[in-house]
Structure 1
Amino acid sequence: MTIRIVLADDQPLVRAGLRMVITDASDIEIVGEAGTGAEALGLARELRPDVVVMDIRMPVMDGIEATRLIKELSDPPNVLILTTFDDDENVYAALRAGAGGFLVKDMVLEDILAAVRVVAAGDALIAPGVTRRLIEGFVERGPVRTSRRREIEGITEREREVLV
């Protein structure tokens, strides 16, 4: 099965470079290209790709907002963020918007193709350096505190034992 993708990046040179690499992949086909988030949204609606490869910083509508709106479509495509801006704020915003992957543009091109395949399959993938930061942040916060046990009235001791 061929994975149909839309490339969304405001830099024509970046799109051209990705196009050259992707053209060599027999299982991935570029069905559209967008220079703004608004164009990416329109192409996602019209072309129904499997994956939108999305930059974050673009004119008219950024990639985060475009991702959020794309994920609100009926039967939306998966979104793979590919950006130079890997700060935590962008990572969290992209994931909250519904992105299935987050990569930085300095990754090896074969890894980008592999990520397209992973995201197309419905799985998630985050660049290793970003993953390391997310894990460190999670560990630093410590255990999640649970709320106090709520007492349930009107049940027997045995029923309470079973519930616990």
Structure 2
Amino acid sequence: MPEAGVLICDAHELMRAGLRGVVGSQADLTVVGEATDGETAVAQAIALRPDLVLMEVRLPCLDGISATGRLRAELPGTPVLVLTDCDRDEYAYAALRAGAGGFLVKNASAAEILVAIRGVLRGDTMIAPSVARRLIDRYVMGAAPPLADARLDSLTDREREVLGLVGRGLNNGEIAEKLFLGETTVKTHVGRILAKLPIRDRIQAVVLAYESGLVRPGG
């Protein structure tokens, strides 16, 4: 199996060294580059085409959230895992809206970081458990009211159903099984949903499903 190349973006040398050690200890992962500010992070990602970017939020020149958005616009196939020493809900929410595939707090163990890296590489959304719980409480359980989104009007009933299941975290195979459809058909529905809304990826689809109230707890 080829190694997955990881670009590390953090302003602090000690943190970069720690992440180098974590990533470099794995046979299936390798560090392909480093950046100390957001502008350099984007430029390095474009030049090196890593398989994954580890991105700190608080970077000089261009913050990590903005850098994530720019990077995802330039390289939509390159996933980003945001790492920060500040687990503010607003940072996590903004990171997901910018297209990050995960949000992890720096006090996570090496094992947790590796689980998150591999999850994001698989296409899963990985969020620190404490942050995930608060996001659910704040944005799903009613602290923040759903926002009407006229884009959903463009979807067929089946596409809305598929989007709802995407919002609940199901993958294409699980959706196919639940709706008694072929996985290829589900993939086609998901592609049409992303094109119609329009949004970049499944992560933004999850955010939109919750923001609009299409997905609710227990639904």
TM-score by length of 1: 0.84
Q: Distance in 1 between matches of 2:147 and 2:89?
A: 23
> Match of 2:167?
none
Are 2:132 and 1:135 aligned?
no
- The structure whose residues are more often helix, as a share, is 2
Shift of 1:140: 2.8
* CA deviation profile, 1:16-57 (whole Å, cap 9, x unmatched): 011112211111110000000111101110010111000000
Q: SS in structure 2 opposite 1:25?
A: coil
Flag the structure with larger Rg: 1
Q: Structure 2: 5+ residue runs without aligned partners?
A: 150-219
Number of aligned residue pairs: 147
**In 2: Cα distance, 1:23 partner to 1:7 partner:** 12
Q: Which runs of 5+ in 1 are unaligned?
A: 148-164
Q: In the alignment, is residue 86 of structure 1 matched against residue 87 of structure 2?
A: yes
Alignment partner of 1:29 is 2:30? yes
Q: Residue type matched to 2:88 in 1?
A: D
Runs of 4+ in 1 over 3 A off after TM superposition: 141-147
Task: Map 1:52-63 onto structure 2 (within 5 A).
Answer: 52-63=53-64
Distance 1:146 1:50, change over 3 A: closer
- When residues 39 and 144 of structure 1 are mapped into structure 2, their CA distance, relative to the original with a 3 A threshold, is closer
Give percent identity, aligned residues only: 45
Partner of 2:6: 5
Q: Which amino acid aligns with 1:118?
A: G
Structure with larger RCO (C-alpha < 8 A, sep 6+): 1
CA contact (8 A) 1:70 1:76 kept: no
**In the alignment, which residue of structure 1 is the partner of 2:18?**
17
Shift in alpha-carbon separation, 1:60–1:142, aligned structure 2, 3 A? closer
Q: Describe the shift of the 1:42–1:135 C-alpha distance in structure 2 as closer, same or farther (beyond 3 A).
A: same
CA contact (8 A) 1:48 1:76 kept: no
